[in-house]
Amino acid sequence: MVALDSRKRMEREFKKGKMPLAIDKTVYKRFSERDMIFARVMWDETYSGYRRAINEKEGAKVGMKGYSRQGYAAMNAAWMVHDTFRQAFSWENPKQPVSSLTQSTTKLKKFESEDLEKNSKIVKRIGNVFGACEVGITELDPDYPYLYTHDRQNNPIDFPEGVKYAIVMLIQMDYHALKTSPGLPASITTGNGYSRMAFAIASMADFLRNLGYKAIPAGNDTGLSVPLAIQAGLGQVGRNGLIINPKYGQAVRICKVYTDFPLKIDHPINFGVHQFCRVCKKCAHYCPSQSIPYEDDPTWKSQWNSVSNNDGSYKYYVNVETCYEFWVKNSTDCSNCMRVCPFTKPPGFAHDLARFFIKYFPFLDPLWLKLDNLMSYFPWWQYGKKMDTEKFWKGKKYLGK
Ligand code: SF4
Ligand code: SF4
């Protein structure tokens, strides 16, 4: 056990936002992706969500407010690229050995460049072209703790020699669709995000191979995406366990490509999320399954007694079992916690001002929270409210914020 004062020091640093991730390595151990909730649904007969598909009740829901026929059509269509192009997610495709994904597909001479800054700029630029709203880079140390030990098929996660960088990409979600959660349009933007992840990582990986380097594209597989995004300087973790980006809040999906292309790495950022989450608790309040804790401070151990929670990390442990059970009940997924997060609100003078104060003057956090709540209070003003799905369908157009 790490000495108590070491834990206390980590707690202090984490709460001030000076430590992006805090783990007690004597307790925290890498775990298998098979213990992740979506994998357990397929094999764990002891879990009440075993073999329960989230759309199993869609027939009964069609026509109910928020669950239109076109909503289901669009939601399933949104996942189409992701579901039919699974080779984009190399590790999830048993027919495609990892070795084939690390070989160059071009006859051109290898692109040799030791200018790390230039290499990173190239990667970020092309990442934006391939659909990422933000791109960050981090390096995996030899005993990197956030990789899974095994994939869903029980194959060990073991990268080829030299593969030590992770290019982490954020894919923006449609803010207005997200605002309808837990209605169907929010699920449409989730599925669409996954399909665009497939496009972005497949293209980025091929780009790197064409330069003559190894590249392994990954979505949610191979390792935890949130710590990677934090280390790549793309945001901080919120109470609900998801990434909060300074510009897009929680309206993003994360994907990554591992490579041996030499790159300049980014560093974690702090814009006041850890302090703000201590007072905010909006995601906990609006979670329909009450799966997010209300305690002021994170803990080192999960209170949920679930194999899908991994103790030894200083964080708020989410009950992923009850979360998934709500998805089944809802007959689609849910993004309420992302929707209500004040950081998800679009940029603009007032929100940018609030973010400035949250970053530099955290003692004012309760005031900003009160203001956010007050502005959502007026019935005639849509500020911060769940968007009616009919309004979403009548809206002029996408996009973003
Ligand atoms: S996704 Fe929905 S049910 Fe799950 S933790 Fe977030 S708000 Fe709760
Ligand atoms: S809703 Fe509030 S408590 Fe939850 S992640 Fe966002 S800022 Fe943190």
DSSP code string of 220-277: SSSB-HHHHHHHTTS-EE-TTSSEEBTTTBT-EEEEEEEE-S--PPP----SSHHHHH
Atom 8 in ligand 2: residue holding the nearest Cα: 277
Instruction: Give the model's pLDDT for residue 274.
Output: 98
pLDDT in tens, 40-71: 999 999 999 999 999 888 888 899 988 999 99
| Contact indicator for 226, 254 with CB cutoff of 8 Å | yes
Looking at the chain, the whole-number percentage of residues with pLDDT higher than 70 is 93
Say which amino acid occupies 356.
F
Q: What is the mean pLDDT of the chain?
A: 92
| Under 8 Å between Cβ of 368 and 341 | no
What is the pLDDT, as a whole number, of residue 5? 76
Nearest partner of 205 among 196, 215, 195, judged by Cα? 215
Percentage of the residues of the chain whose pLDDT score is greater than 90: 80
In this structure, of 200-214, 341-355, 371-385, the range with the lowest mean pLDDT score is 371-385
Mean pLDDT, residues 222-235: 97
Supply the pLDDT for residue 360: 97
Asked whether residue 91 carries a pLDDT value surpassing 70, the answer given is no
- Helix%, strand%, coil% for the chain, nearest 5: 40, 10, 50
Q: Which of 242, 281, 371 to mutate to test the pocket of ligand 2 (most atoms within 8 A of CB)?
A: 281
Question: Which one, of 171, 183, 170, 134, lies nearest residue 339 by Cα?
Answer: 183
What residues flank ligand 2, with Cβ below 6 Å? 238-240, 276-277, 280-283, 340-343
Residue nearest to atom 3 of ligand 1 (CA): 323
pTM (2 d.p.): 0.94
**What is the structure's pLDDT at 86?**
73
Q: What pLDDT shows up at residue 178?
A: 96
Query: Ligand 1: which atom is nearest the Cα of residue 292?
Result: 5
Q: Can you give the pLDDT at residue 397?
A: 60
The continuous run of DSSP H or E covering 4 comes out as helix 4-15
The atom number, within ligand 1, closest to the CA of 333 reads 1
Nearest-angstrom CA–CA distance, 198 and 194: 6
Does residue 141 have a pLDDT over 50?
yes
What's the pLDDT score for residue 1? Answer: 47
CA of residue 70 to ligand 2 center, whole Å:
31
What mean pLDDT comes out for the span 208-230?
94
Q: How far is it, in rounded angstroms, from Cα 104 to Cα 110?
A: 9
Question: What Å distances lie between residue 21 and 164, 232, 233, 279, 316, CA to CA?
Answer: 19, 12, 12, 19, 12
Substitution candidate for ligand 2 out of 245, 292, 341, 351 with most atoms within 8 A of CB: 341
Place of tokens 């995996």: 140
Mean pLDDT to the nearest integer, 277-287: 97
Express each pLDDT in 263-280 by its tens digit: 999 999 999 999 999 999
- Tell me the per-residue pLDDT of 181-204, one tens digit each, with 9 for 90 and over: 999 999 999 999 999 999 999 999
Average pLDDT over residues 203-212: 92
Give the C-alpha distances (Å, rounded to integers) separating 208 from 102, 197, 202, 217, 353. 9, 16, 10, 10, 39
93 vs 197, higher pLDDT: 197
CA of 385 to the centre of ligand 2 (A): 15
Closest CA to 148 of 309, 36, 32, 307: 32
Cα–Cα distance list, 71 to 16, 180, 250 (Å):
42, 12, 22
- pLDDT above 70: residue 101: no
Q: How far is CA 34 from CA 168, 274, 275, in A?
A: 23, 29, 33
Task: Give the distance (Å) from ligand 1 centre to CA of residue 122.
Answer: 37
- Start-to-end Cα distance in the chain: 46
User: What is each CA distance from 344 to 235, 395, 401, in whole angstroms?
Assistant: 12, 20, 10
Residue 142 CB neighbours (<10 A)? 5
Q: Which residues line ligand 1 (CB under 6 A)?
A: 240, 287-289, 291-292, 318, 323, 326, 334, 336-337
- State yes or no: pLDDT of 11 exceeds 90: yes
C-alpha to C-alpha distances, 250 to 105, 110, 124, 190, 300, nearest whole angstrom = 36, 38, 21, 12, 24
| Structure confidence at residue 96 as a pLDDT band (50, 70, 90) | low
**Residue range 22-47: mean pLDDT, rounded:** 95
